[in-house]
Amino acid sequence: MTEAFDSKEFRSVLGNLPTGVVIVSGVDVSGEPQGVTIGSFVSISLDPPLVGFFQGLNSKTWPAIAVSGSFCANILAQDQSELCWRFAKEAEGRFDGVQWTPAASGAPKIAGSLAHIDCTIESSSQVGDHLFIVGRVQNLEAIAGSKSAMIFFKGAVTGTPQSL
Ligand SMILES: Cc1cc2nc3c(=O)[nH]c(=O)nc-3n(C[C@H](O)[C@H](O)[C@H](O)COP(=O)(O)O)c2cc1C
């Protein structure tokens, strides 16, 4: 069936829904840190503790993380817009100059984030042109402080109007 809208309108209308922003991080087979900016991260279940997100099928980074069987979701603070755009654009050198420590899984916990949620990959299933990835939470921590969360709304993040 042909829809009465195009992909530009789809993106534009759905852009009215504000989301938080995370960097999903992990390590590849060489032990190198990898990460990608994700706005579709969500809490799913308390018992068992499950979270999830939708990752585009053409992602270059996710397959490298997935082989490790784990990922860490880093919830971005409002002042981390440079990282938000960097991890959504050029794939080379995304971790250059980024301070991080390994979570129990080995996945990077990015300094300055509001919280880190360390997961094993529970399932991965295709939905349209995305993978729905479910993670089982193994460890999690919120960093004490008064920083505000980053919000993505109408193609821009709070405080810094910039688009892809
Ligand atoms: C705020 C924001 C939220 C995003 N959310 C998602 C998302 O939920 N799923 C997704 O597949 N891509 C999302 N992206 C786009 C990816 O970050 C972008 O396509 C990235 O280049 C993919 O890199 P990769 O090919 O290394 O995986 C988002 C980008 C931004 C700026």
Mean pLDDT by 10 residues, the chain (164 residues): 92 96 98 98 98 98 98 97 94 93 98 97 98 98 92 85 45
The pLDDT, as a whole number, for residue 161 is 45
CB of 100 within 6 A of ligand 1: the answer is no
Q: Which atom of ligand 1 is nearest to the CA of 38?
A: 5
Q: In the chain, which ranges are E strands?
A: 19-20, 22-27, 33-38, 42-45, 50-56, 70-75, 100-102, 108-110, 115-127, 130-142, 151-153, 156-157
Is residue 8 in some structural domain? no
CB of 36 within 6 A of ligand 1: the answer is yes
Q: Which atom of ligand 1 is nearest to the CA of 130?
A: 11
The pLDDT, as a whole number, for residue 80 is 96
User: What is the CATH number for 71?
Assistant: 2.30.110.10
The pLDDT, as a whole number, for residue 162 is 46
Q: 140: domain range?
A: 20-147
Please choose from 17, 23, 28, 38 the residue to mutate so as to test ligand 1's pocket, defined by most ligand atoms within 8 A of CB. Answer: 38
Is residue 13 in some structural domain? no
The pLDDT, as a whole number, for residue 158 is 81
Is residue 52 in some structural domain? yes
User: CA–CA separation, 159 vs 136, rounded Å?
Assistant: 32
The pLDDT, as a whole number, for residue 146 is 80
Is residue 154 in some structural domain? no
CB of 42 within 6 A of ligand 1: the answer is no
Please choose from 36, 41, 57, 150 the residue to mutate so as to test ligand 1's pocket, defined by most ligand atoms within 8 A of CB. Answer: 36
Distance 60 CA to ligand 1 centre (A): 11
The pLDDT, as a whole number, for residue 91 is 76
The pLDDT, as a whole number, for residue 92 is 87
Is residue 86 in some structural domain? yes
Q: Which atom of ligand 1 is nearest to the CA of 87?
A: 17
